[in-house]
Amino acid sequence: MEYVVIILVALFIGMRMLPTKGVKNITTAQLKDELKDKNKQFVDVRTVGEFKGNHIRGFKNIPLHQLSQKANELSKDKEVIVICQSGMRSNKASKVLKKQGFKQVTNVKGGMSAWS
């Protein structure tokens, strides 16, 4: 019985870490090229304090816990590129945006931790 619980917990955790269907994943090296594209929207889902401490020029700060309410500030007609500190919150943010009807969503793998 306890093996079943362990397996279920492992599956639950594993499923949460899998990339979201329909979301493109890019590296921070690829992001550097994307930043030149004025037809894309760049969103940093870290907290206001994290964003103030260090951020990439061109990114708009919409903390993850506010994204559902503030998604209407973004255009569904343009690609949204999402970043956080490590890639976990931006993966969650990508799921939120997909559920709200955004077609082109890109997650930055490794987040700000991988940015140099």
For the annotated catalytic residues, the residue numbers are 84
Distance, CA of 1 to CA of 45 (rounded, Å)? 39
CB atoms within 10 A of CB 39: 8
Q: What are phi and psi of 3, to 5 degrees?
A: -65, -40
